[in-house]
């Protein structure tokens, strides 16, 4: 009886939470330690990064990118060179569906997840939603997506991008899209349907890729160490170097240079195990968001610009290499440790019309 009562109470609590989320106009902040929601603190962070920056990257022709979603004090140097050159009015953000989220929403597969919040949290004010989101709901096959505010409120990979986007372009509008697990054939099918729908939206409104609309893929890289139960190369600095070299090879072979479907499929063979649900020997949380986002972006470019994309690595690093940026009394913090038994890699990669 107690078990039944607890289960009923849990269902009631979940239902009430869903009602509260549905009634909210602005999505609540999920991560208020690792990410920044204060314009003044964000300026302090950006000013510090600008003073340290020694490289610059071309903005012209940039239409898509991969960016991290780790804590800003860990990955700030990797975020910065990309976001400082983004000025598109609209940004489509392909996010992860992390395991903690999947457990709360019955682990859906082979679909995209949209939301119905009227705005998302931003730097001192909400970030607006692009009209593309409602266009997708109206024109995309209903079997290819669900609308779930709970999932989008629990997931942090899309949220991480918003303060960076809004700092450099306060009027930016976003379209948040969470990607769930799916085999490559299904990924190819869903990305084709999505690309056709997005391309029609762009053509109807005269939007040019890069200038007016940008495609951003959220992903951290390997999660390595005993804490993650992921030690295919062993432990210690030798293993750390080997795992980093694997990351660099994947970036070199599959994420940079002239892009095509074959490269993306090759990446999935490296990231996935026997099935798409499994891992091989690297734990990239973007094992679905990266290949899906790249497939969709390539197809959108083909339909709207008649061109392919070419990838360029902006920056690669990891939490063990970076440590924590020396900014104190800002309110920013870290949500996990860094050590040889617990480190996460990340990269920023830009994609240009070829």
Could you read off the pLDDT tens digit of each residue along the chain, which spans 354 residues?
Answer: 444 344 444 444 444 444 444 446 999 999 999 999 999 999 999 999 999 999 999 999 999 999 999 999 999 999 999 999 999 999 999 999 999 999 999 999 999 999 999 999 999 899 999 999 999 999 999 999 999 999 999 999 999 999 999 999 999 999 999 999 999 999 999 999 999 999 999 999 999 999 999 999 999 999 999 999 999 999 999 999 999 999 999 999 999 999 999 999 999 999 999 999 999 989 999 999 999 999 999 999 999 999 999 999 999 999 999 999 999 999 999 999 999 999 999 999 999 999
The reported pLDDT for the residue numbered 169 is: 97
The hierarchical CATH code for the domain 2-353 is 3.40.830.10
**Nearest-CA neighbor of 284 among 181, 191, 195?**
181
- 289-304 vs 261-271: helix crossing angle, rounded to 10: 180
The reported pLDDT for the residue numbered 291 is: 99
Domain boundaries, the chain: 2-353
The reported pLDDT for the residue numbered 8 is: 41
The reported pLDDT for the residue numbered 124 is: 81
The reported pLDDT for the residue numbered 301 is: 99
Whether 113 and 180 have beta carbons less than 8 Å apart is answered as yes
């Amino acid at each position: 009886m107690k078990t039944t009562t607890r289960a009923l109470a849990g269902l009631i609590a979940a239902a009430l939470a869903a009602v509260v989320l549905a009634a909210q106009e602005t999505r609540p902040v999920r991560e208020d330690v690792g990410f920044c929601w204060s314009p003044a603190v964000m300026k302090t962070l950006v000013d510090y990064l600008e003073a340290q920056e020694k490289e610059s990257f071309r903005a012209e022709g940039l239409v898509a990118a991969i960016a991290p979603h780790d804590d800003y004090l860990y990955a700030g140097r990797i975020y910065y060179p990309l976001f400082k050159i983004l000025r598109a009015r609209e940004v489509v953000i392909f996010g992860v569906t992390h395991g903690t989220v999947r457990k709360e929403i019955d682990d859906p597969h082979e679909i995209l997840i949209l939301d119905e919040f009227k705005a998302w949290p931003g730097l001192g004010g909400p970030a607006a939603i692009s009209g593309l989101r409602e266009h997708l709901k109206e024109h995309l096959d209903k079997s290819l997506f669900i609308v779930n505010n709970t999932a989008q409120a629990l997931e942090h990979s899309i949220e991480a991008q918003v303060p960076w986007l809004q700092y450099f372009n306060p009027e930016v509008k976003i379209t948040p899209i969470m990607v769930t697990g799916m085999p490559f054939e299904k990924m190819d099918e869903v990305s084709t349907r999505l690309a056709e729908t997005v391309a029609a939206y762009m053509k109807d409104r005269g939007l040019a890729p890069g200038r007016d609309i940008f495609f951003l893929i959220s992903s951290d890289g390997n999660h390595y160490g005993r804490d993650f139960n992921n030690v295919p190369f062993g432990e210690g600095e030798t293993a750390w170097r080997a795992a980093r070299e694997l990351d660099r090879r994947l970036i070199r072979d599959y994420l940079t240079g002239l892009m095509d479907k074959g490269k993306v499929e090759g990446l999935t063979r490296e990231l996935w195990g026997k099935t798409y649900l499994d891992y091989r020997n690297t734990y990239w949380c973007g094992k679905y968001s990266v290949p899906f986002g790249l497939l969709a972006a390539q197809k959108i470019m083909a339909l709207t610009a008649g061109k392919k994309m070419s990838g360029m690595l902006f920056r690669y690093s990891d939490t063990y290499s970076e440590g924590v940026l020396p900014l104190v009394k800002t309110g920013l913090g870290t949500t996990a440790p860094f050590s040889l038994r617990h480190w996460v890699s990340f990269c920023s990669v830009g994609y240009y019309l070829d």
